[in-house]
Amino acid sequence: MKKKAILLDRDGTINVEKDYLHKIEDFEFEKNVVDALKIFSSLGYTLAVVTNQSGIARGFYTEDDLIKLNNYINDRLNEYGVNIEKFYYCPHHPEKGIGKYKVECQCRKPKTGMLDAAIKDLNIDVENSYMIGDTLADIDAGFNAGLTSILVKTGHGMETLEKLGDRKVEIYNSLYDFALKLK
């Protein structure tokens, strides 16, 4: 049976936006995010992260650095009874990448490679699932993959509001505010 899921952007949605975050000591949850994720879990949603990480492509940090931080995030969430099923990430950038990371890939949002992989791997029911993020890339990736896109005003969300154009998207102050709506 297919599962309902919430695919989440990471930076600016789950954690406070800090350019090219890769150090555990710089990590900080957005306000009430743990409570929001607890609500989603209690409602039976499978949780996964889909995140562009061009800092890898630019040589600012390594894939190992990213994996360590993602594991740390999940370990912290596990303490509250929340589990991110899987972290998907795009380490590429078509212009600013270095070496093997300078490619035009299918995984970098707004393309749907990461979302498609999550949908397949986790057996996601697209019609009853969401993509939540703070940028147009997040919103468009969700739409492009057939999910319902939600914009949060945390991170780059306020700037994104001005760029939405005619996109039909629900907008919430935070992940927690959306969780309360679903509850």
Q: Please state, in angstroms and rounded to a whole number, the distance separating the CA atoms of residues 96 and 101.
A: 9
What is the number of domains present in the chain?
1
Which token pair is 118?
């999550």
pLDDT digits (tens, 9 = 90+) for 15-36: 999 999 999 999 999 999 999 9
Cα 163 to the chain's mean position, in Å?
A: 19
SS3 89: strand
**What's this model's pTM, rounded to 2 decimal places?**
0.97
Question: Cβ distance 130 to 4 under 8 Å?
Answer: no
Q: pLDDT digit string (tens) for 128-178?
A: 999 999 999 999 999 999 999 999 999 999 999 999 999 999 999 999 999
Which residues belong to the active site? 9, 11
- Domain CATH for 165: 3.40.50.1000
Place of tokens 């995984």: 107
Number of Cβ atoms within 10 Å of the Cβ of 118: 26
Q: Residue 38: give the domain boundaries.
A: 5-182
